[in-house]
Amino acid sequence: MSSTTADASTTGTTVITNIASLVTNDPSLGDGSPLGLIRDAAVVIDGDRIAWTGESREAPATDNRIDAAGRAVIPGFVDSHSHLVFAGDRTQEFNARMSGRAYSAGGIRTTVAATRAASDEELERNLTRYLDEALRQGTTTLETKSGYGLTVEDEARALRIASAHTDEVTYLGAHIVSPDHADDPAGYVALVTGEMLDACAPYARWIDVFCEKGAFDGDQARAILTAGRAKGLHPRVHANQLTYGPGVRLAVELDAASADHCTHLTDADVDALASGATVATLLPGAEFSTRAQWPDARRLLDAGVTVALSTDCNPGSSFTSSVPFCIALAVRDMGMTPDEAVWSATAGGARALRRTDVGRLTPGAYADLALLDAPSHVHLAYRPGVPLVRRVWRRGVRVV
Amino acid sequence: MSSTTADASTTGTTVITNIASLVTNDPSLGDGSPLGLIRDAAVVIDGDRIAWTGESREAPATDNRIDAAGRAVIPGFVDSHSHLVFAGDRTQEFNARMSGRAYSAGGIRTTVAATRAASDEELERNLTRYLDEALRQGTTTLETKSGYGLTVEDEARALRIASAHTDEVTYLGAHIVSPDHADDPAGYVALVTGEMLDACAPYARWIDVFCEKGAFDGDQARAILTAGRAKGLHPRVHANQLTYGPGVRLAVELDAASADHCTHLTDADVDALASGATVATLLPGAEFSTRAQWPDARRLLDAGVTVALSTDCNPGSSFTSSVPFCIALAVRDMGMTPDEAVWSATAGGARALRRTDVGRLTPGAYADLALLDAPSHVHLAYRPGVPLVRRVWRRGVRVV
């Protein structure tokens, strides 16, 4: 990710001390909860990694010292679902929708047209703007996707640009059937699984499909994800957002890292998620900005499903880059406790990306962390809308 | 209000130019809407006042020039309802409530005990911290109240401290019946309307009462507001938050500047508001953080009622200082259009404080304005949770 104000001048080890409350996400530490919460804590950074965490009074000697002054420190947020390679403006579409006015919205197609028409430089400028914005709000790992190109060249271009700025890149040629293939969805699936996949695979880690009425059905989704897997891309699925459907069960069957949205779930869907390693990634920004039904996080958690929280940042249905905002919504409207929501936005996001080196503050993990202008992580829900992220370190470098 | 980073060095007139979209709140300007929206606009600041607004190409010559680079400018937010003179920590109470755990919460009494125990310095440090936090989020006028002292000395102290930092100070001795008078509410009303009022009146502009079951009934509220008015304090009322009741109609009858909350309204309440000059101030942060029913802004607007939006920032029921967050909630859940919500958070707040010198960007008004990191005020709802306020001027001085 890009950084707004890099400060790479610090050398040697650094301790952040006088932390009122430190979320490690290691249940063997601190209070023994899933957050592994340590009171009156310190964390030691060595290079780009965490070297030590524990109680302040036991902190080892270091070269540099930062006083957290009784504030809280959490792992940087891991936002495992965004759509940031785009161009164009859909403000009027949003305004009309929320004002109850008719508007001939083109939806995703509007953004596809603008993205195709944009220069590489424009797309990259837009992407880095939103990556920086997310970083300032504490997001230190951010996945992003293609899906607004829908031609071989435009999808590959989007992924090439994305891969220059984040390791977590997802090929989403199967966002919708391209308008160019409106009368030939089978031909579009053949393109997505053939020439487009060949052009995109070198830049991506993941393959994703929007498995939904009006996008791709279960059979098409299976064909797309299977083809991607054969090219070394691991599956993830946009599943069960707008209606019930096969997406979630397909995701579990194919061992997708994540089934994203999960708003309309049958008991069989929940059972499938609980039985497999697929994370349920909830994206409340989308329900907020489209006035849709909230996903039921409580039901998933009570069934033993691993839940991640992400922004779905995109210009159509969820134009927020704020993970704290998603945490506040998850607590207010999705039945999560503040502890669960913070876990899901950090460790949960890491699980949804099958990462063990981010989303936790334990020795060996990347030194990706956020210092809050608050004494506790609970304030992320308690003080909704308030920009509480005061400092951010990524890979051991203070970037905010 | 305090300022985080004052920059008072600029002398002479200053033009902010290249504003993509300027909200003036003067319907005789620009698009003729209530927002008086001017595209490709400029605004000229002379000292602490607005000297000129209009299209960029017609801007007069000035001593200094700031390029808004295609961003939006709005009037600074007017937050007409907050409770910021307090001490103590209620994080665990919030956490327990949102986690479904039992907790013997003392509610307002918890904060009363902590506030009484705090030093003047502690109260002032707390207040200025939240004033600065609000200012960084674009709030340039902020009302705040007493109500956590509930003794003659503690109420007067709260108002004295508040009055050193804002002109909009409200005496709320009638927040709840003081725990010291639990068995003698009539005695407490006598204190609030007598000795306490005498001690508090010199520091306050407004008198307020929480007219609600469990707090003060209609007769008590009338006695309190009438006594305050006799001492030169103008009424405002916490009305109809938790249940139906007489608060709103009493507010209109007494020409209160505002009836605040307005969550449970009969048709007669709405008619009363529509017939008078009392503003309905809606506080969605409270409904958000207590999972309560939303106030119906649409019903009020359709009836012709003037609506303000404020934060109700307080440590118990609404610990947000973010007016943009309240705007996003009002649009999502209360039936307001983005235009209406932005108007209510600026011009509406000014009406609720009976001010004509703030909440608008017209010649003669205070130069209180916010530059957004977005091309339009609509983004305050379109991009929920994202800190979009990039620069703030207050009284012509750049403070953020």
- Does the pLDDT value for residue B105 go beyond 90? no
A379, B325: Cβ pair inside 8 Å?
no
Helices marked H in chain B: 91-99, 108-117, 120-136, 152-163, 185-193, 195-200, 218-230, 247-253, 267-275, 284-290, 297-302, 323-333, 338-343, 349-352, 379-382
Chain B residues in contact with A338 by the CB 8 A cut-off are 94-95, 98-99
- Does the pLDDT value for residue B101 go beyond 90? no
Comparing CB atoms, the residue among B91, B324, B385 nearest residue A379 is: B91
- Does the pLDDT value for residue A400 go beyond 80? yes
| Residues in Cβ contact with A186 at an 8 Å cutoff, skipping those fewer than 6 apart | none
B298 touches chain A (CB under 8 A): no
Chain A residues in contact with B328 by the CB 8 A cut-off are 288, 385
The pLDDT assigned to B8 comes to 47
- Does the pLDDT value for residue A186 go beyond 90? yes
- The angle at the Cα of A320, spanning A314 to A322, to the nearest 5 degrees, equals 135
CA nearest neighbour of A377 among A136, A73, A79, A135:
A73
The pLDDT assigned to B295 comes to 98
A95, B382: Cβ pair inside 8 Å?
yes
pLDDT tens, position by position, A220-269: 999 999 999 999 999 999 999 999 999 999 999 999 999 999 999 999 99
CA nearest neighbour of B70 among B381, B396, B390, B397:
B390
Comparing CB atoms, the residue among B98, B337, B376 nearest residue A91 is: B376
pLDDT tens, position by position, A332-380: 999 999 999 999 999 999 999 999 999 999 999 999 999 999 999 999 9
The pLDDT assigned to B9 comes to 53
The number of angstroms, rounded, from the C-alpha of B213 to the middle of its chain's C-alpha atoms is 24
- Does the pLDDT value for residue B196 go beyond 90? yes
pLDDT tens, position by position, B277-293: 999 999 999 999 999 99
Query: How far is the C-alpha of B307 from the C-alpha of B175, rounded, in Å?
Result: 23
Chain A residues in contact with B129 by the CB 8 A cut-off are none
The pLDDT assigned to B125 comes to 98
The pLDDT assigned to B39 comes to 98
A104 or B239, which is more confident?
Answer: B239
The pLDDT assigned to A124 comes to 98
**Where do we find the tokens 């899906």?**
A147
| Residues in Cβ contact with A235 at an 8 Å cutoff, skipping those fewer than 6 apart | A206, A207, A208, A225, A228, A229, A251, A254, A255, A256, A257
**Whether the Cβ atoms of residue A278 and residue A259 lie closer than 8 Å to each other:** yes
- Does the pLDDT value for residue A182 go beyond 90? yes
pLDDT tens, position by position, B177-187: 999 999 999 99
- Does the pLDDT value for residue A185 go beyond 80? yes
Structure confidence at residue A106 as a pLDDT band (50, 70, 90): confident
Structure confidence at residue A159 as a pLDDT band (50, 70, 90): very high
Query: How far is the C-alpha of A155 from the C-alpha of A197, rounded, in Å?
Result: 9
Please report, in range form, the residues annotated as the binding site of B for 4-imidazolone-5-propanoate: 90, 148, 175, 241, 317
**Mean pLDDT (chain A, rounded):** 96
The pLDDT assigned to A103 comes to 77
- Does the pLDDT value for residue A138 go beyond 90? yes
The pLDDT assigned to B5 comes to 41
The pLDDT assigned to A5 comes to 41
CA distance B142 to chain A (A): 16
- Does the pLDDT value for residue A2 go beyond 70? no
Query: How far is the C-alpha of B143 from the C-alpha of B1, rounded, in Å?
Result: 10
Please report, in range form, the residues annotated as the binding site of B for Fe(3+): 81, 83, 238, 312
A112 or A102, which is more confident?
Answer: A112
Assigned CATH class of A78-352: alpha beta
Tell me the average pLDDT across A163-188: 97
**Residues of chain B numbered 84-123 and touching chain A (CB < 8 Å):** 89, 91, 94-95, 98-100
CA nearest neighbour of A222 among A187, A257, A253:
A253
Domain boundaries, chain B: 2-76+359-398, 78-352
Tell me the average pLDDT across B335-340: 98
Q: Which CATH number fits domain A2-76+359-398: 3.30.230.10, 1.10.730.10, 3.30.470.10, 2.30.40.10?
A: 2.30.40.10
Query: How far is the C-alpha of B72 from the C-alpha of B56, rounded, in Å?
Result: 13
pLDDT tens, position by position, B15-26: 999 999 999 999
CA distance A136 to chain B (A): 9
Using only C-alpha atoms, what is the Rg of chain A?
A: 21
A385, B385: Cβ pair inside 8 Å?
yes
B386, A322: Cβ pair inside 8 Å?
yes
Comparing CB atoms, the residue among A91, A99, A378 nearest residue B94 is: A378
- Does the pLDDT value for residue B10 go beyond 90? no
Annotated binding-site residue? A83: yes
B137 touches chain A (CB under 8 A): yes
How crowded is residue B139: how many other Cβ atoms within 10 Å of its Cβ? 30
A89, B137: Cβ pair inside 8 Å?
no
**Mean pLDDT (chain B, rounded):** 96
- Classify burial at A99, counting beta carbons within 10 Å of its beta carbon; exposed 0-12, middle 13-18, buried 19 or more: middle
**Where do we find the tokens 């197609």?**
A109
Burial A41-64 (b: 16+ CB within 10 A, else e): bbbbbbeebbbbbbebeebeebee
Structural tokens at position A215: 């996008």
Tell me the average pLDDT across A130-137: 98
Comparing CB atoms, the residue among A95, A320, A375 nearest residue B384 is: A320
CA distance A370 to chain B (A): 16
Local structure of A44: helix, strand or coil: strand
Structural tokens at position B367: 């130069």
What amino acid occupies position B209? V
Which range, of A9-18, A357-366, B212-221, averages the lowest pLDDT?
Answer: A9-18
